[in-house]
A and B are shown apart, each in its own frame.
Chain A
Amino acid sequence: MKLGLVVDLDTCVGCHACATACKQWNTSGTIGPLSDERPHGKDPSGSWLNRIHSYEVGDSPHSKTVNIPMSCMHCETADCVTVCPTGASYKREEDGIVLIDQDKCMGCNLCSWACPYGARELDPDSGTMKKCTLCVDRIYDEQLPEAERQPACVLTCPTSSRVFGDFDDPDSQVSKLTRERAGQQLMPELGYNPVNTYLPPRNPKQQDSIAVSPMQGVRQLVNRIINR
């Protein structure tokens, strides 16, 4: 299995719901609290496992706002795992999820240096590294109804622009979406082989020129004169 996410950049509205749902679920999940510094102060800071960046792509007037949510890509070539000196950082053989053993991490920051996607953040309180778990404590929980065995970010997304699934299965929804919508990896040239895939925005439909009948033309002319 190669579990991961597909994020549709066409429909993501940048509402940050995935980030807050992630924080809410994981702060009481297997990796312990995601602590904050000065949560009610002027410059609140803390560890988050998912962050959303908004970009302007293209030049005005042909530009578009694109929101890119970023969490761990569960890379196939995960340098964050190989650089870890303590063995706290590991990639699961069975499903490819990259995790951090909180009991082994010594907080040297080297894995966060090795990650090109900013997926790892040091917890200011415990001094250990925190990262997306792909909600490993949800997706295998048989107490939950089957439809809810998905990452918190996927369940909460109001535009359904996040899809969770197995990339090794060619018939899974994530594989189909990647195929049909030409899904792509971020920064592929670094060679990390990220599993999470981003679907580029669809091309806007070509606007057909509207045929105007002579009567409508007269009406538009009259309207323009009256408005003036």
Chain B
Amino acid sequence: MHPAFSVLIFTVTSGAGYGLLAWLGAGQLLGYTQGFIVAQQLSLGIVAMVLISIGLASSTMHLANPKNAWRSFSRFRTSWLSREAVFAILLYPVAALYAAAIFLQWPSINLLAGLSIILALVTLFTTSMIYASLKTIRQWNTPMVPALFMAYALISGGSLFLAVNSFFGALNYQLLAVVIGLVLITLALKLVYFFWQGKPQGATIQTATGFSQASVRLLDAGHSAPTFLNREFGYQVAADLLLRLRIVMTLVTFIVPLGLFYWVFDGAGRTELLAVAWFTMMAGLLLERWLFFAEARHVVRLYQGEQRT
């Protein structure tokens, strides 16, 4: 699949924003934000909403006919993209009320924090289901995709939560340990995903053409220059480059931030390193999302001559 840069930015930054909002809300419910001053809580919320808004604005950039984007709220009953649009917009008034509750110390703050967590996680789930619901792309059509999207959001939001708090001089070492644990779990999930993705399975050129008992080779694709289908689905990267990028991605997204976290946790590293860890992780997640697209092989490629997906 062709990796559209606007979609990479959208899923990574809004993911971190939803994750951060979930951590903030959970802090309200579980009590780990009790000692926070209002400015600290509000700045966490504002950072989350800015990231979400950057992501959503970026997502409209890949529309070829954005003047009809307002119609995307209308097919809530069948379309995951429509559901995503509805929940993403629904979050804004709830988040605004939550911010007001923090500022004015409303008694209903726990309810609003809980609603914000639910909406953030549901929006993340709907985004991931846009990809996971496509039967045409076996690399995406798996429950691991929503699990990974949620995990990425929680680790990138969690590290940002820690980085902002360390800026306010209030680093919670227990939370840092939780984030380290989550990063390890996400890494394990991603390695399982890589292993599973390498297994040959799914449709082949035989089932695509109906000649299930013979070898089938493409003689002529029927066009002299690349078409929309080639550009959208025929994205091809050398296999050895993909392998190297997987290693770089694993190092930058998981290993380097884990090292920095442990350094800070150990008390040896300065807490500013948490911000470095977050930026490193975000760069790694951008590469991860690029790989997510570049390694996805749509079944239309079978008609273009590929033997299997």
Contacts and interface: CB of A to CB of B under 8 A. Distances in A.
A167 interface: no
A48 B66 CA distance: 23
Interface string A183-195: 0111111111000
A188 B220 contact: no
A115 B136 contact: yes
B241 interface: no
Interface of A is mostly: loop
Nearest to A109: B232
Contacts, number: 181
B229 A121 contact: yes
Contact of B136 (A48, A53, A57, A114): A114
B137 A113 contact: yes
A79 B135 contact: yes
Interface stretch (B71-79, B91-99, B113-121): B71-79
B81 A104 contact: no
Contacts of B69: 106
Nearest to B211: A57
A57 B64 contact: no
Interface residues of A, number: 63
Interface of A: 14, 16, 19, 42-45, 47-48, 51-59, 65-66, 68, 70, 79, 81-88, 103-110, 112-118, 121-122, 124, 126-128, 184-192, 198, 200
Given A54-B220, A128-B64, A66 B211 contact: yes
Nearest to B74: A87
A131 B232 CA distance: 16
The contact size tier of chain B is 35 or more
A59 B215 contact: yes
A90 B137 CA distance: 22
Given A66-B211, A68-B209, A106-B65, A116 B300 contact: yes
B134 A53 contact: no
B300 A117 contact: yes
A55 B218 contact: yes
Nearest to A122: B228
A88 B228 CA distance: 20
14 contacts: A51-B223, A55-B216, A82-B78, A85-B72, A86-B68, A106-B66, A107-B66, A108-B72, A112-B228, A112-B229, A113-B134, A121-B228, A124-B228, A189-B203
Contacts of B210: 184-186, 198, 200
B166 interface: no
Contacts of A118: 229, 233, 300, 303
B208 interface: yes
B162 interface: no
Contacts of A70: 303
A52 B220 CA distance: 9
A98 B225 CA distance: 28
B26 to A, nearest CB: 30
B209 A186 contact: yes
Interface in B205-235: 207-211, 214-229, 232-233
A54 B79 contact: no
Contacts of A192: 135
Nearest to B231: A45
A56 B305 CA distance: 11
Nearest to B2: A109
Contacts of A109: 62, 64, 232
Given A19-B222, A117-B303, A185-B210, 11 more contacts: A51-B222, A56-B218, A57-B214, A82-B78, A85-B82, A86-B71, A106-B63, A106-B69, A113-B137, A113-B298, A116-B203
Contacts of A43: 224-226
B151 interface: no
B64 A58 contact: no
A210 to B, nearest CB: 29
> Nearest 5 CB-CB pairs, A to B?
A107-B64, A127-B64, A43-B225, A127-B65, A85-B82
